[in-house]
Amino acid sequence: MKALKKLNVKKVAAAIEADAGQTLPGLREAVAEAKAGQAGRVHTPEQVVARRRGRPAGSVAAVSKEPVKLRLDPDVLAALRATGDGWQTRINEMLRASLTLAGRLG
């Protein structure tokens, strides 16, 4: 934090904008906040380990989804999983698009 106290906000912002090749709105304010120690949240290793997976406590999805069991052919499942994280969400999107095209979903 000592190094940030000596930070020249104008020089840093000018260098970043020169690299970007354009003026960046709010950059000087963000750099000033970082200098003042107001930007970002620092997590200790203990806090990172204690953090739980999934949605943060208290957050509520606008529309809840229902868990179902679905039997798929192995090659279809492998192809979907091969698309990486979020493959289950993409299945939902594919089914929604198919049903919309078929006129069964508005």
| 59 within some domain | no
Q: What pLDDT was estimated at residue 44?
A: 77
Q: For residue 90, what are the domain limits?
A: 65-106
| Structure-token pair, residue 15 | 């260098």
**Model confidence pTM above 0.75:** no
| 12 within some domain | yes
Average pLDDT over residues 32-44: 75
Q: What pLDDT was estimated at residue 40?
A: 65
| 43 within some domain | no
In the chain, the number of structural domains is 2
Find the DSSP H helices in the chain.
2-5, 9-20, 27-36, 45-50, 74-81, 87-101
| 81 within some domain | yes
